[in-house]
Amino acid sequence: MKKFIAVALLTAGMGTVSQAHAHRAWILPSATVLAGDTAWVTMDGAISNSLFYFEHHPLNLDQLEIVDPDGEPVEAQNKASGKYRSVFDTELKKDGTYTFEIRYSGLVGMYKLNDKPVRWRGRADEVKDIPEDAKGLRLFEVDNLMQVFVTKGAPTYETFGTQGVGLEMVPVTHPNDLFAGEVSEFRFLVDGEPAEDLNVVLIRDGIRYRDQVDEIQLKTDAGGGISVEWETPGMYWLEAELEQPGTRSDTAKRRMSYSATVEVLPL
Amino acid sequence: MKLTGRTTLLALLLGSACVEAGELELEVEIPGMDVAEYHRPYVAIWIEDSKGRHQQNLSLWYDHDMRDDEGQKWLKDLRLWWRRSGRQLEFPVDGFSGATRPVGTHELVFDSNSSVIRDLPAGDYRLVVEAAREVGGRELLRLPFQWPPEKRQEIVQQGSNELGRIQLVVKP
């Protein structure tokens, strides 16, 4: 049950950003551009209101997948979960771009059983297992994807494959080649098709030290593309979400979200 | 003597090579610092064209002889050089890299036999010096010059943090 709660929190966090008390799920890498024969990155993962501060809940890393520049899976090392954050390390043995992602597709439900709130997670064919005396059942289909990219040596593009499910991002500008004063382009897909008119939000780190969140709001064009001119270097949290009628269950709405942490360097 | 087309071409090439001969004399000052923890800076020196495109690496000073090539780890702190050139290179690189240099003025001469400038097409260029220091800062200076030089050009830039006086003399 503990795991279910964590996942539900994760999905809730990724789905409710625009609300007043937004919980954001994020991964913060120690570096995104590295050099040398071998290198290590360490990452924090958390769910919190403010970026990138640990203040609410650690990120569940059960679904974490890491892919090296050749497309081979890499095991996260030293995984740990604390009160407010999770951590893990990864050794980068190869030159090129590594992708770190947490992908979740399924159904999430909320109901009350004997007056106690229950969060549920499962597949469409498991909905029937929800107890009959569950009250106030609300079901959501969710397709959530969270990504971080890290490059040792020269950036590579070979591992940016998409699965055609939910919201996905296709880098036009390499996500480890972002520089202040330059324009970068990204494309978004929904179920593999260009995601037109999608709202994309970018939030720079260091919120605690300024009065306004200063989020950058963008809308995708007909091809699902956005272009952003970076004024200020920093770590940025990029997020987009979309709600549609459900496809896997008649009772559910479908909530999709994509988020990534990208670093913009000064030149 | 009857000249074949081939020898004529060769003569022309040699002639133009002579006309385009030139020399770069560079002085790079690493400034002294009153800091608790001092490490010699990593320095990259290269030529870019007027649009900022990388042309030739002239010099790279870094901790090249550390155990397990540990010194390569910080090459990415030469941020512009890393993006323009470094990240595409296989290390160790031959020809232009060497140890970090101490405080003082260091002279580098690239004459017309030097491969880095011998093949440089005519045009406007900038010599770029980028320095990054562990627990310190980063600084980048650009010195514009024309190639091949018609007359002596002397370009001086004064750094304010990680670099001191940089002087480039371009001679025909």
Given the DSSP bridges, would you call strands A77-81 and A73-74 parallel, antiparallel or unpaired?
Answer: unpaired
Answer yes or no: is A95 within a domain: yes
Residue B35's closest CA among B137, B160, B115?
Answer: B137
From the list A36, A155, A179, the residue facing B73 with the nearest CB is: A36
Higher pLDDT, B107 or A107: B107
pLDDT digits (tens, 9 = 90+) for A128-150: 888 888 888 888 899 999 999 99
Rounded to two decimals, the pTM is 0.85
The answer for residues whose C-beta is within 8 angstroms of residue A11's C-beta and 6 or more apart is A104, A108, A121, A140, A142, A144, A255
The C-alpha atoms of residue A7 and residue A104 are separated, in whole angstroms, by 9
> How close, in Å, is residue A151 to chain B by CA atoms?
10
If one counts the domains in chain A, the total is: 1
Answer whether B80 sits within 8 Å of A266, measured CB to CB.
Answer: no
Whether ipTM > 0.85 holds is no
Answer yes or no: is A110 within a domain: yes
From the list A33, A36, A177, the residue facing B72 with the nearest CB is: A36
Tell me if chain A has a CB within 8 Å of the CB of B90. Answer: no
> Phi and psi for A164 in degrees, rounded to 5?
75, 20
pLDDT digits (tens, 9 = 90+) for B1-56: 444 444 444 444 444 444 457 899 999 999 999 999 999 999 999 999 999 999 99
Identity of the residue numbered B152: R
Domains, chain B, in order of start with CATH, read 22-171 (2.60.40)
Answer whether A37 sits within 8 Å of B75, measured CB to CB.
Answer: no
Tell me if chain A has a CB within 8 Å of the CB of B39. Answer: no
The answer for residues whose C-beta is within 8 angstroms of residue A132's C-beta and 6 or more apart is none
Please tell me which of A17-21, A31-35, B113-117 the model is most confident about, judged by mean pLDDT.
A31-35
Cβ burial, residue B87 (10 Å; 0-12/13-18/19+) = buried
pLDDT digits (tens, 9 = 90+) for B71-101: 999 999 999 999 999 999 988 788 899 999 9
Q: Which residues of chain A neighbour B74 with C-beta distances below 8 Å?
A: 35
Answer yes or no: is A267 within a domain: no
The four Cα atoms A69, A259, A87, A79 give a dihedral, to 10 degrees, of -60
Answer whether B70 sits within 8 Å of A36, measured CB to CB.
Answer: yes
Q: Which range has the worst mean pLDDT, A25-39, A116-130, A195-209, A213-227?
A: A116-130
3-state secondary structure of A6: helix
From the list B68, B72, B80, the residue facing A35 with the nearest CB is: B72
Residue A8 domain boundaries:
2-262
Query: What is the reported pLDDT for A22?
Result: 65
> What is the share, in percent, of chain A residues with pLDDT greater than 70?
91
From the list B70, B88, B91, the residue facing A154 with the nearest CB is: B88
